[in-house]
Amino acid sequence: MKINVVLVEPEIPQNTGNIVRTCAATGAKLHLVRPYGFQINDKYLKRAGLDYWDKMQIEEHISFNEFLNKYSPLENNMFFVTSKGIHKYTDINYSKMEEVFILFGKETKGISEDIMKKYLEKTIRIPMIDGIRCLNLSNTVAILTYEILRQNDFKNLKEISNKLL
C-alpha cells in the first residue's frame, strides 16, 4: 500500500512540520502544492518536522492544476477531505487499493468548492458534533493515514514488543 498525503496550499508551518513527522513514521509520500503560506526554510516548519526531512519522500507541485494533471482523480484512488464530505472516512475500503491519495486544502478555506462539487463522490469527512468547523490539519492527516494503514493490517510498519523493559 502506497499512501500519498497531498497538502494543497498549506498555510501554517507547524502543521506541515507535524505532517512531515507523520509521513516519515508511516512511509507516506508528501505532496506539497504551491503557493505556501510560509517559506520552505521556515524555522517553525523545520522545528516541527525535527530531523525527519531526510527520511521521507516529498514532491512539490507549482499549482493544484499541475498536480491534478499529473495525478488524475479519475485514474487514481483519490479522496478529497472536507468537513462537508458525503462519505465518512471509514466508509471507504482502502484495503483493496495499491495506492491512495488523500488531499487536504489550506487551513483557512479547504479545497475550493468547485473542485469539491466536481469530485463529490470522492469527498470524505471525519464526523464531528454540530457547531465545530473542523479539526486541526495535522490531526486529520494522522487520523486518515492510520485508518488506511489499519485497514491494511499496518503492513511494513515495525511491530513493538509488548514486553515492558
The predicted model scores a pTM of 0.92
- Domains of the chain plus CATH, in order, are 2-151 (3.40.1280.10)
The pLDDT value recorded for residue 47 is 63
pLDDT band at 110 (very low <50, low <70, confident <90, very high): very high
**First CA to last CA distance, the chain:** 32
How far apart are the C-alpha atoms of 78 and 6, rounded to whole Å?
10
H or E stretch at 65: helix 64-70
The pLDDT value recorded for residue 10 is 95
